[in-house]
């Protein structure tokens, strides 16, 4: 059985850092590169860190809680860093279609 989970510290282009426990994180890159909708789905409710040290502290705190769980104490991929090419706000705009220009008839 595969848990396919990890704690992901997402670094966005504008310096924003978000921390999330997630499964199947590869969806952020499916089908061919960064997928704005999935990036937003995974990180919109994630912990917003005040910097790298705060992100690391939160990730270790999350890890400790997961590994203390009596039912499912598994963290298959551990704590990982992900670097995204754009700001989180840009992914939000892309995922909602706000970056597209209006159609002209």
pLDDT at 89 > cutoff 80: yes
Give, in degrees to the nearest 5, the angle at Cα 33 between 31 and 60: 105
DSSP string, 34-62: --HHHHHHHHTTSEEESSHHHHHHHHHHH
pTM of the model: 0.90
pLDDT above 70 covers a percentage of the chain that reads: 92
Q: Which residue has the tokens 């912990």?
A: 47
pLDDT at 99 > cutoff 70: no
> Rounded CA gap, 23 and 8, in Å?
10
Q: What is the mean pLDDT of residues 53-66?
A: 98
Q: Which residue has the tokens 């203390």?
A: 68
Residue 21, token pair as written in the block: 């426990």
């Amino acid at each position: 059985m595969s848990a396919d989970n990890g704690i992901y510290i997402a670094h966005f282009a504008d310096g924003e850092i978000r921390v999330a426990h997630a499964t199947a994180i590869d969806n952020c890159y499916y089908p061919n590169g960064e997928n704005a909708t999935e990036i937003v789905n995974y990180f919109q409710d994630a912990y917003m860190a005040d910097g790298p040290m705060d992100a690391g502290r939160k990730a270790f705190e999350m890890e400790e809680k997961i590994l203390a769980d009596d039912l499912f104490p598994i963290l298959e991929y551990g704590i990982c860093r992900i670097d995204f090419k754009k700001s989180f706000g840009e992914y939000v705009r892309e995922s909602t279609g706000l970056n597209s220009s209006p159609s002209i008839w």
